[in-house]
Amino acid sequence: MTKRESNTLAVLGCGALGTAILSGILASMADKTADDSGRLFTNFTACVRRKETGAAVSDKISSHANAHKVEILNKENLRGVKQADAVLLACQTHLYKALFDEPGMREALKKKLIISVLAGVTTAQLEAALGNGEDYFVIRAMPNIACFVRDSATVIEKPQRTFPEALLHVTDTVFKAVGSVFYIQPSAYDICTALCGSSPAFLAVFIDSMVDGAVAMGLSHKDAVDMAACTMRGAASLMLESGNPWTIRHQVASPGGSTMQGLLALEQGNVRSIISNALMVAAKEAKKLGSKENA
């Protein structure tokens, strides 16, 4: 990606994650306190397969001051890539090979930064599907839907071959615009896909369960949701401060208190094992996604 007055990011696939990333970047552009993260790009192209998807994307980003800088293209992936300086590959996992097979696509992608957020599909698989991996700059990243509110935990796989420093900077700053960034080795990628990518759904189930309990005892649903979500946010902040979830557990659970009784009820329900197993299952399934595509 060269330095010039106009730089364009093409988003190939605007489902929940692709749209969340785009929305978060647009929000960062209006944040005067932010660094140059979102401002690396001045224009955006959202490539979709259906008009309905395009309309949904337009609706979700309409509140942003820079929404007018997004061009939505329906079934025009090649055009989107040709006019882009960098590409965010966010299509459904099983579609990437067909996308690369579009006439002219491989040539259009050459020497451009390709950021893949496809679960389970390795850099080697992507490079093999493109043809000659040396002609392409592919890097993997796994954010989560909290990009919408610029509070994602994004893992970026450390490149295993020589990679232009400028393109690493682009990847880093793009995802710092929408949250926190962690660098990992390829061997940990599927684990982190579950931990960072899937866990918002797991945490939502936990909150929903607490809400059900509160509503069953008479609290309004809205109040219960607001209180539970704010409580989890506060607990997460404390955890980041202390670096140890057990610190919070012991601070809250005083001897003979109601919290300890509630914790014992959780242990009786084998909740810790269930949650750990859910994470491990999600990680294994993420790995299988790539294996299926390679079969």
Between CA 225 and CA 191 the distance in angstroms is 29
Between CA 206 and CA 231 the distance in angstroms is 12
15 is in an annotated binding site: yes
3-state secondary structure of 8: strand
3-state secondary structure of 73: strand
CA distances from 178 to 27, 93, 148, 269 (A): 9, 22, 8, 36
277 is in an annotated binding site: no
56, with CB counted inside 10 A (0-12, 13-18, 19+), is middle
Structure tokens at 115: 């950021």
Residues 46, 54: contact at Cβ < 8 Å?
Answer: yes
Residues 145, 16: contact at Cβ < 8 Å?
Answer: yes
13 is in an annotated binding site: yes
Spatial CB neighbours of 295, under 8 Å, sequence gap ≥ 6: none
9 is in an annotated binding site: no
Residues 88, 18: contact at Cβ < 8 Å?
Answer: yes
Between CA 203 and CA 205 the distance in angstroms is 5
CA distances from 19 to 7, 70, 98, 160, 200 (A): 19, 11, 21, 28, 16
Phi, psi of 64, rounded to the nearest 5 degrees = -80, 140
38 is in an annotated binding site: no
74 is in an annotated binding site: no
16 is in an annotated binding site: yes
Give the residue numbers of the binding site for NADP(+).
12-17
Residues within the annotated binding site for NADPH? 77
Give the annotated binding-site residues: 12-17, 77
